[in-house]
Amino acid sequence: MKQAQVENADTAERVLDVAERLVQIRGFNGISYADVAAELGVTKAALHYHFATKAELGEALINRYTTRFAAALADIDSRVSDAPSKISAYSAIYLDVVRDQRMCLCGMLAAEYQTLPGPMQQAIVRFFDINETWLERVLREGRHAGTLRHRGSARSAAQIVISTLEGAMLVARLHDDPARLEIAADQLLAGMA
């Protein structure tokens, strides 16, 4: 790869890093290219070189976040064997984000769903579908092994896990108290054990 290509890739990653942090704090509608450019010390034109529109930037943010989250789920699968520990490790991802005084990127964007462009909406749904599918499998494995119990289908239980963690994240942020998310996650797991 040529030096210019490496620099362009590095700049695009830096743009995504800054934009992700800002969206996790303020929401997508609460940031502008000027905000991102100011943090990076570049012009708005430089941002447009990498992401022609804010919608393209938003879609790239979601896709990168989804890829990283899917890798985290694969990592959990590779190093954790029992279902309760997998659910606990999954909850820890959320806890790490809220301890960093941020929100789940896709949870934050879900709150703005109706105002976002179609491709971003589809990418958000895809993020949650990937999470639900993974959780559904883990919950089914746990039920089969006798290590987890839940009412209804594994799919509905997966939806409850995500809803509980996303909601608890909001309340923890509101009170600036990550322990609220930790308590909710512990109670959720205790109810399934």
Q: What is the pLDDT of residues 45-61, one digit of tens each?
A: 989 999 999 999 999 99
Q: What is the pLDDT of residues 91-135, one digit of tens each?
A: 999 999 999 999 999 999 999 999 999 999 999 999 999 999 999
SS3 149: coil
pLDDT band at 8 (very low <50, low <70, confident <90, very high): low
What is the percentage of the chain residues whose pLDDT exceeds 90?
A: 91
Question: Is 21 among the domain residues?
Answer: no
Alpha carbon distance 69, 86 (integer Å) = 14
Per the listing, tokens 């998310």 go with 181
Alpha carbon distance 124, 35 (integer Å) = 23
The pLDDT value recorded for residue 10 is 84
Q: What's 104's DSSP letter?
A: -
Alpha carbon distance 50, 172 (integer Å) = 35
Q: Is the pLDDT of residue 87 over 90?
A: yes
Q: What is the pLDDT of residues 122-132, one digit of tens each?
A: 999 999 999 99
Q: Tell me the average pLDDT across 11-28.
A: 95
Please give the structure tokens belonging to residue 130: 């990937």
Per the listing, tokens 């029992």 go with 82
* Four-point Cα dihedral 145, 147, 148, 149, nearest 10: 80
Alpha carbon distance 143, 52 (integer Å) = 47
The pLDDT value recorded for residue 4 is 47
Q: Tell me the average pLDDT across 19-27.
A: 96
Question: Is 37 among the domain residues?
Answer: no
Q: Quote the domain boundaries for residue 81.
A: 55-192
Please name the amino acid found at residue 66. T
CATH of the domain at 105: 1.10.357.10
Question: Is 121 among the domain residues?
Answer: yes
pTM recorded for the entire structure: 0.91
- Please give the tally of structural domains in the chain: 1
Please name the amino acid found at residue 67. T
Please give the structure tokens belonging to residue 12: 């695009």
- Of the two residues 8 and 186, the one the predictor is more confident about is 186
